[in-house]
């Protein structure tokens, strides 16, 4: 009897796929090579990585798979996951090739689909490729198959996305330390839908508010308060609400979809979702003036670095954040520190494969003329990557195979390529061969550097470093420096062409009225 019952039991077949890219319109385009440098995995290789203790792939994808494994039988169909570090628009050929491979394998035989995306991708030919993929997936599997989508807090949400999927789970933290939780939540939500416990209804409200990412921290500040309010309201609504996600937008995508979005998924009631989304939107709109933030002037940063009478501090090179499409190669802050004879400085990390290779060839203990940006070109996205040479000593070498220890990278296997630690007068510089933001102390610790002993730590990162370096720095010991580069958060420096107008803070008289 039991055997017959098990034979009759339907095991859900779930498609797993995703294309992850955060597009900075002003950075160089993302080619297939850029995805292959980070993630292009299919089939068994993909599912095995997801189930490993230290996955290389997106944490939320791994969490989704592990949560599905833990909550019942299922038949995963790992189609493809592609991910690039943040860059510019994805090449049209890459996007179309992905769609041809991924979407062609979807059909009405699937019981569910999981889409793992960032949500701020731009293609050469499309403003909203994330929405286009969701729409194509819906067309392929039909109207009744649940589609679940995980997205970054900086996603640019479109109505096309919301109309095409059944549940959107966005990160709630910035720095993004809840990726695992959101992957789990997506799996739990899918289980509820498959078991007939929910018939999701999504409401989406877009505000004419397009702030820069430095204003979107969640441990404090207006977005964090809005997210906390949303989660409190979710609890108050009890089982009527499946998810509330608030997306801060990624301004450098420069798309019509820019703007803060509130996405509420109700269990089965559109009116409740719409009312709650508008309630949260009104709260955010009323605090829009708080989404403007000042930076520490460049000259002031140098003064602070030279001040011998203060506590250790950390500087964020905010204009050159590889986590937002920055080159990781601007030299303005480094050269100014060297010219000012700053001492006891840890600087990380400079993306320069050629320089790293030179250091490995010289060997530990060697002194040589280090040429930064030796191979730079005259492209618009390299205009701040100045070339300069300086005498340096090689004091550390590493193969770049590490596992993140704290914050957004914790537990994730990272491959940075050949790395070197150079000592240049009073500054120690980490050089890496794969572009990445320095959001984890392991970038310094792989060279046995004691972060607590440094007088000034400088990271090429926008905000994720706050979670990774929290044991050493907080509050008044953190400075966001006004530096040049592809991620400068001073919005007046950029020629945005597609951001909806009027939008705050571009136009302070922008208006929004609650609608039902």
Q: How far, rounded to the nearest angstrom, does the alpha carbon of residue 53 sit from its chain's CA centroid?
A: 21
**Helix, strand, coil percent values for the chain (each to nearest 5):** 35, 25, 40
**Alpha helices of 195-253 — where are they, by DSSP H?**
222-237
Question: CA 3 to CA 504: how far, in whole Å?
Answer: 63
Is residue 157 a contact partner of residue 165, using CB atoms and an 8 Å limit?
A: no
Question: CA 118 to CA 145: how far, in whole Å?
Answer: 22
Q: Where are the beta strands (DSSP E) in 301-418?
A: 313-317, 345-351, 367-372, 388-398, 401-403, 413-415
pLDDT tens digits in sequence order for the chain, 516 residues long: 445 555 578 999 999 999 999 999 999 999 999 999 999 999 999 999 999 999 999 999 999 999 999 999 999 999 999 999 999 999 999 999 999 999 999 999 999 999 999 999 999 999 999 999 999 999 999 999 999 999 999 999 999 999 999 999 999 999 999 999 999 999 999 999 999 999 999 999 999 999 999 999 999 899 999 999 999 999 999 899 999 999 999 999 999 999 999 999 999 999 999 999 999 999 999 999 999 999 999 999 999 999 988 999 999 999 999 999 999 999 999 999 999 999 999 999 999 999 999 999 999 999 999 999 999 999 999 999 999 999 999 999 999 999 999 999 999 999 999 999 999 999 999 999 999 999 999 999 999 999 999 999 999 999 999 999 999 998 899 999 999 999 999 999 999 999 999 999 999 999 998 765
**pLDDT at residue 222, as a whole number:** 97
Is residue 221 a contact partner of residue 290, using CB atoms and an 8 Å limit?
A: yes
Q: Are strands 147-151 and 201-206 parallel, antiparallel or unpaired?
A: unpaired
Q: 405-463 pLDDT, tens per residue?
A: 999 999 999 999 999 999 999 999 999 999 999 999 999 999 999 999 999 999 999 99
Question: CA 209 to CA 6: how far, in whole Å?
Answer: 53
**pLDDT at residue 1, as a whole number:** 46
Query: Which run of H or E residues covers position 331?
Result: none
Peptide bond into 505 cis (omega under 30): yes
Question: CA 231 to CA 245: how far, in whole Å?
Answer: 9
Is residue 376 a contact partner of residue 329, using CB atoms and an 8 Å limit?
A: yes
Instruction: Give the C-alpha distances (Å, rounded to integers) separating 227 from 157, 170, 353.
Output: 16, 11, 40
Peptide bond into 502 cis (omega under 30): yes
**pLDDT at residue 7, as a whole number:** 52
Question: CA 354 to CA 371: how far, in whole Å?
Answer: 9
Question: CA 260 to CA 272: how far, in whole Å?
Answer: 20
Strand partners, 276: none
**Three-point CA angle 460, 250, 28, nearest 5°:** 65
Question: CA 110 to CA 141: how far, in whole Å?
Answer: 7
Question: CA 148 to CA 116: how far, in whole Å?
Answer: 9
């Amino acid at each position: 009897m039991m055997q017959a019952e098990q034979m009759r039991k339907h095991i859900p077949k779930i498609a797993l796929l995703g294309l992850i890219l955060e597009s900075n319109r002003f950075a160089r385009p993302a080619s297939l090579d850029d995805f292959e440098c980070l993630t292009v995995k299919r089939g068994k290789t993909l599912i095995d990585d997801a189930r490993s203790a230290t996955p290389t792939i997106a944490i939320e994808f791994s969490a989704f798979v592990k949560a599905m494994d833990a909550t019942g039988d299922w038949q995963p169909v790992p189609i493809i996951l592609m991910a690039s570090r943040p860059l510019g628009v994805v090449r049209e050929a890459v996007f179309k090739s992905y769609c041809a491979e991924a979407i062609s394998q979807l059909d009405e035989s699937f019981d569910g689909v999981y889409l793992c995306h960032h949500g701020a991708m731009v293609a050469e030919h499309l403003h909203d490729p994330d929405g286009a993929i969701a729409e194509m997936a819906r067309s392929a599997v039909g109207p009744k198959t649940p589609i679940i989508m995980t997205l970054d807090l900086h996603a640019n949400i479109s109505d096309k996305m919301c109309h095409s999927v059944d549940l959107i789970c966005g990160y709630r933290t910035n720095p993004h330390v809840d990726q695992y939780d959101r992957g789990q939540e997506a799996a739990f939500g899918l289980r509820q839908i498959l078991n007939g416990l929910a018939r999701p209804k999504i409401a989406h409200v877009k505000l004419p508010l397009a702030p820069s990412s430095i204003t979107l921290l969640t441990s404090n500040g207006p977005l964090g308060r809005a997210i906390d309010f949303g989660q409190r309201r979710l609890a108050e609504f009890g089982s009527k609400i499946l998810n509330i996600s608030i997306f801060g937008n990624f301004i450098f995508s420069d798309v019509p979809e820019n703007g803060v979005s509130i996405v509420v998924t109700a269990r089965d009631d559109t009116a409740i979702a719409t009312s709650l989304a508008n309630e949260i939107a009104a709260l955010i709109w009323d605090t829009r003036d708080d989404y403007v933030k000042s930076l520490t002037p460049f000259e002031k940063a140098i003064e602070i670095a030279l001040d011998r009478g203060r506590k250790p501090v950390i500087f964020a090179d905010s204009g050159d954040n590889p986590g937002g499409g920055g080159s990781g190669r601007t030299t303005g802050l480094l050269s100014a520190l060297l010219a000012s004879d700053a001492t006891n400085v840890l600087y990380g990390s400079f993306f320069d494969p050629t320089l790293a290779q030179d250091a490995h060839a010289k060997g530990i203990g060697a002194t040589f003329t280090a040429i930064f940006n030796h191979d730079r070109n005259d492209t618009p996205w390299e205009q701040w990557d100045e070339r300069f040479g300086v005498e340096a000593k090689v004091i550390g070498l590493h193969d770049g195979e590490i596992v993140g220890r704290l914050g957004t990278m914790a537990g994730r296997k990272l491959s940075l390529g050949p790395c070197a630690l150079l000592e240049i007068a009073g500054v120690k510089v980490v050089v890496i061969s794969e572009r990445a933001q320095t959001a984890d102390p392991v970038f310094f610790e792989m060279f046995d550097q004691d972060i607590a002993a440094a007088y000034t730590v400088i990271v090429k990162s926008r905000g994720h470093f706050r979670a990774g370096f929290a044991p050493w720095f907080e509050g008044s010991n953190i400075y966001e420096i006004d530096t040049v580069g592809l991620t400068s958060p001073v919005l007046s420096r950029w020629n945005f062409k597609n951001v909806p107008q009027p939008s705050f803070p571009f136009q302070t008289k922008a208006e929004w009225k609650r609608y039902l």
